[in-house]
Amino acid sequence: MVELFLESFRLGEGTRSFLDHLVIVALDQVAYDTCISIHKHCFTLKTEGVDFSGEKFFMTDDYLKMMWRRVDLLRVVLQFGYDFVFSDADIMWFRDPFPLFSMEADFEIACDKYFGDPTALTNEPNGGFVHVRANNRTIDFYKFWYKSREVYPGKHDQDVLNEIKVTSGFMDLGLKMRFLSTEFFGGFCQVSTDFGKVCTMHANCCTGLTRKLQDLRLVIEDWKRYKSMTDLEKQLQRVFWRAPRECLHSFEG
């Protein structure tokens, strides 16, 4: 997965230089040892009493612990004063997203489903890709988000965000939140259809590492095919993603 992730930066338009600033967070020693063999900036995050080695299946107890550990880590990053873009490793980067970020927003998040208005709370966010500015509002928000796991036990961070985004406690934070269009930040839930605009492609709405890998390989191959075409071919030929294919079977009984 990480090898495909890194390859996407090398294949993307204006994304290779981001590798110099990319910190990969490893949750166990084996993952860290693998990381430092293929990338120069790796950080190991250990959690006492929890073994994060191996695949954590969707909505299992260890999966939920992993998701909430991520939220708490990002709160710490903000308290150190760093703005950041967080990306899951199952997101392929093909273009520079920074020109699409709002100068006014504190917190911008990708979506599983996007309905056309970047400020509409009806959009369905996905915590796998976020752009966050370090300030008191975002620090308080991450604390509130993490604390809210106790109010909604058994739910992962994304579902809890969907719950709290319409509460008075969230509104009182004054957070300037914006949802990112799937036209540019697409995924398997809602595919970005314009190869000329897509910045990232996320293997969301998909369970199982094997399925994700198979479909992400298709994504990489389709991007290579698009990049090899002439401008005229791009205008005349219909270009489409073959994925999701295997991921379509994720939630079958």
Q: Indicate whether 157 pLDDT > 80.
A: yes
pTM, two decimals, is: 0.93
Measured distance CA(107)–CA(171) in Å, rounded: 14
User: Is a pLDDT exceeding 70 seen at residue 48?
Assistant: no
pLDDT digits (tens, 9 = 90+) for 79-99: 999 999 999 999 999 999 999
Q: Measure Cα distances from 251 to 40, 58, 184, 239, 248 in Å.
A: 37, 11, 26, 27, 8
Q: How confident is the model at residue 228 (pLDDT cuts 50, 70, 90)?
A: very high
- For residues 100-104, give the mean pLDDT: 97
Q: Within 13 A of 207's CA, how many CA atoms are on the CB side?
A: 11
**Residue 56 three-state SS:** coil
How high is the pLDDT of residue 57? Answer: 47
Residue that the structure tokens 């809210």 belong to: 148
Which single residue is written with the structure tokens 């208005």?
Answer: 117
% of the chain surpassing 90 pLDDT: 82
Distance CA 240, CA 216 (A): 14
b/e sequence 216-226, b meaning 16+ C-beta within 10 Å: bebbbebbeeb
Q: What percent of the chain has pLDDT over 70?
A: 93
Residue-wise pLDDT tens digits, 169-191:
999 999 999 999 999 999 999 99
Weakest-pLDDT range from 36-40, 43-47, 226-230: 43-47
